[in-house]
Amino acid sequence: MTHRTPHPALRPASKKIAHIAGTARVSPAPKLRTIEETAELFNTSTRTVRRLIDSGALPVHRLRRSVRIADTDIAAFLAANRSI
């Protein structure tokens, strides 16, 4: 008697997830900050941060009505606007 493996679609979900998790590489999600948190980090007002966003100097992620700024975008902005 031979053992038959069920069709991949019929396998239990836990095995599928383990199989996918073992092969897929997922990068960690960047920390997303609010405008208020970014203003506090920059030691400036929220209005200044909103002006940077409106001018396109600081990229944002819009989630419905929420605006979030990624730490990677903040680091890139600070590196690009460094004065000697």
pLDDT digits (tens, 9 = 90+) for 26-67: 777 789 999 999 999 999 999 999 999 999 999 999 989 999
| All structural domains of the chain with their residue ranges | 32-80
Q: Return the exposure string of 19-36: e unless at least 16 CB atoms fall within 10 Å of the residue's CB, then b.
A: eeeeeeeeeeeeebbebe
- Residue 17 CA to residue 74 CA, distance in Å, equals 34
State the chain's mean pLDDT as an integer.
Answer: 82
* pLDDT bucket at 10, cuts 50 / 70 / 90: low
- Residue 28 CA to residue 31 CA, distance in Å, equals 9
**Backbone phi and psi for residue 70, each to the nearest 5 degrees, phi listed first:** -80, 145
SS3 at position 15: helix
Q: pTM score, two decimals? A: 0.64
**Six-digit token pair at 23?**
């092969």
The answer on pLDDT for 19 being more than 60 is no
